[in-house]
Chain A
């Protein structure tokens, strides 16, 4: 165990991101600060325009904040990597799994060669790339036959397993799940959520989950941050925030989730001021 095991996994320190387009300034992320503690999975919740995806890209090092800084396991990723070695080292800190497994996999190569490609860049301990590719397949529940197929021949749930295996191939300390189970059928979503929990217990990988789905956030995370129009409106333990939201916006978000209350006369109309 390394010395910084108890140090925060992610520190987001007064991060602002402003986009300027044709003279119009949009503040996508507005002075947001929070800490993701080591050994605790964090959810970032918000609707479209909340800034959650911009923030994820910044934490991932794919985008730079206009001001403020981000530390991932103590490393400042706010600047562009200066060398190939630095880029590879950063990749070991954080990987990302996206919502759409179609868009994030190359249809021209088999799943196995996709994993091998990543393993060549990030050689596994012992150096046996082929063996490790098979092991990763096992780990995420893909059969050897599925590993030899193109992602095109796989179902949505299987492709998401591939995306998870590819992220794990790098052996990152943190995986950002950007709406990673949002597009899946209910029964497949349950399987992937279970798989993610098993992998966390087995490998110690931490998750930063970006989601609009509060039930998924509850199932997978310990702490939560709520964003609205680029600002942080509430944070705390996931259970506490969802059970007893302190802020109006969080309460509205929770009450907008379909429930039996919608059947009470006037409830839905009051919630939405429609009708």
Chain B
């Protein structure tokens, strides 16, 4: 299978006001069409930085090295116009808070049709007709009425569906979802997960799904990249998360999370010594060349060390 996105040995350094901080430290991964790749990790692990680097949304001062290839093209070499086209036509982005993505004083219809009108240069009426179909695709009933409403009239879950519809409107090939379900109730979260999976499969999208929720990544994604302090410490097929994970950090995260099945006398916690060990333990998965499992073989990059 041809990869849609190939990221290799990506290093990102950010200036935090006092010193340069290595936010990404040699990150390599791939995303194939029709595949959901989950990025999990705690705050500051670099999972959002990785996605922002792909969308070229890092601050201008950031030092970036390594390579990001989208459909064979060098994303880091894009000039302004190419970059604008890449972002507006090939990327769809969904973030945690849908209310931060939409303009509260214009209708949902204006928001959902914006890409169609501006990027696809579709006439207004045609754009609205297309927007109705898109809302249908993300499971919004009475789409015509919804398009006429304002964001505050929609619940958080409904608005997030509209944001996904807008992201899909330009027929992107890569979807970046950063904590897209985090602010939602569990029943709403399951719905958004179902919509993302249907869009990924149905449209042959590549989707990067960032979450701090291991169980969610395990349930929804095809493959998982576990990030710790700027590095991918483990890559594995999502169905192997329980039982197949090997890196001590992944194992520690799995153990620390309370379970709905049983009450534990005490939750295992992560000590300072553990954290040292996480850093020195070798990465597991796509990076250790030749050891990629059969399901990873199609996804592992050619130039791995």
A residues apposed to B, CB below 8 Å:
47-48, 156, 185-191, 193-194, 197, 212, 214-216, 218-219, 238-239, 242, 252-254, 256-263, 268-269, 271-275
Contact = CB atoms under 8 A, between A and B. Distances in A.
Nearest to A155: B43
Contacts of A252: 187
The winner among A252, A254, A275 for most chain B CB atoms within 10 A is: A275
B42 A242 contact: no
A239 B263 contact: yes
5 contacts: A47-B187, A185-B212, A253-B187, A258-B190, A260-B239
Interface string B31-44: 00000000000110
A261 B197 CA distance: 14
B187 A256 contact: yes
B119 to A, nearest CB: 26
Nearest to B268: A190
B163 to A, nearest CB: 15
Interface in B154-208: 156, 185-191, 193-195, 197-198
A48 B188 CA distance: 10
A272 B191 contact: yes
In this complex, the interface size class of chain B, counting residues with CB under 8 Å from chain A, is: 35 or more
A211 B213 CA distance: 16
Contacts of A197: 266
Contact of A218 (B191, B242, B258, B266): B258
Nearest to A198: B266
Interface of B: 42-43, 139, 156, 185-191, 193-195, 197-198, 212-216, 218-220, 238-239, 242, 252-253, 256-264, 266-270
Contacts of B190: 256, 258, 262, 268, 271-272
Contacts, number: 122
Contacts of B220: 258, 262
Contacts of A193: 258, 267
Contacts of B261: 218
B258 A274 contact: no
A274 B256 CA distance: 32
A214 B209 CA distance: 23
Give the 7 A-B residue pairs with the shortest CB-CB distance, closest first: A258-B219, A47-B185, A219-B258, A262-B219, A190-B256, A185-B42, A190-B267
Given A187-B256, A189-B258, A216-B258, 15 more contacts: A48-B156, A187-B269, A190-B257, A191-B269, A212-B185, A218-B260, A218-B261, A218-B263, A219-B259, A219-B263, A238-B263, A252-B187, A268-B194, A272-B193, A274-B194
Given A260-B218, A262-B220, A275-B194, A186 B239 contact: no
A256 B186 contact: yes
Contacts of A258: 189-190, 193, 213, 215-216, 218-220
Contacts of A190: 256-258, 267-270
Contacts of A212: 185-186
A185 to B, nearest CB: 4
A93 B130 CA distance: 58
B195 A275 contact: yes
A261 B220 CA distance: 10
A272 B256 contact: no
Contacts of B195: 274-275
A189 B267 CA distance: 10
